[in-house]
Amino acid sequence: MLAVRVYYEDTDFTGLVYHANYVRYLERGRSDYLRLAGVSHGDLLDRPDPCAFVVTRLAIDFRKPARIDDALTVRTTYDTVRGARLIIAQRVTRGQDLIAQAAVEAVCIAPGGKARRPPADFVERLRPRLLPTPTP
């Protein structure tokens, strides 16, 4: 869970959060989630088998507007790891109000850009937070 305060710079001429800024909030939420799970982006790159993550799909549903000075919360769950793909759900709330929700797909890649499975120890750190993989 990540707390975000809306600043003047986050808003458009109407005083509402500009839609592109939600992408920033969501990225911070995913990064903080990993950090709290003991995973550092820098450590992933410094491994003998370095890797990183790229977002390949991002779908955002905007439900209510956020305004200057709002205190928002970004909730992130890494739901499933399938092959190289990570399926992530995110919600931005203001108190009990749902402001936006996102479905995210990220892919683990090697430094050259080729998709690869995430390192086993990375998946193990996420395991307590992952939903069971559905069986066909």
In our burial notation (b when 16+ CB lie closer than 10 A, e otherwise), range 75-103 reads: ebebbbbeebbbbbebbbbbeeeebbbbe
Once rounded to an integer, what is the mean pLDDT over residues 65-83?
94
Specify the pLDDT at position 130: 63
Range of the domain at 39: 2-129
In a domain, 31, yes or no: yes
Q: Which residues are catalytic?
A: 12
Average pLDDT, the chain: 91
pLDDT at 126: 79
On whether residue 16 sits in a domain, the answer given is yes
Q: Is residue 62 part of a domain?
A: yes
Q: How far apart are CA 55 and CA 36, in angstroms?
A: 20
Instruction: Give pLDDT, residue 39.
Output: 86
pLDDT for 129 beyond 70: no
Does 95 map to a domain?
A: yes
Q: Is residue 136 part of a domain?
A: no
Q: What is the pLDDT of residue 132?
A: 56
**Tens digits of per-residue pLDDT, 9-46?**
999 999 999 999 999 999 999 999 988 888 888 888 99
**Burial zone of 27 (CB within 10 Å; 0-12 exposed, 13-18 middle, 19+ buried):** middle
- In this predicted model, which residue has the larger pLDDT, 123 or 7? 7
Q: Kindly list the distances between the CA atom of residue 78 and the CA atoms of 18, 20, 27, 33, 115, in Å, as whole numbers in the listed order.
A: 26, 22, 13, 9, 18
CATH number at residue 52: 3.10.129.10
pLDDT confidence band for 133 (50 / 70 / 90) = low
Mean predicted confidence (pLDDT) in 82-107:
96
pLDDT at 96: 96
pLDDT of residue 136: 52
Strand partners, 90: 76, 102
- Between CA 54 and CA 28 the distance in angstroms is 14
Asked whether residue 59 is domain-assigned, the answer is yes
Q: Are 52 and 105 in contact (CB under 8 A)?
A: no
83 within a domain of the structure (yes/no): yes
Q: Give the residue carrying structure tokens 């990225």.
A: 27
| Total domains, the chain | 1
pLDDT, mean of residues 64-69: 96
Instruction: Let me know if residue 135 belongs to a domain.
Output: no
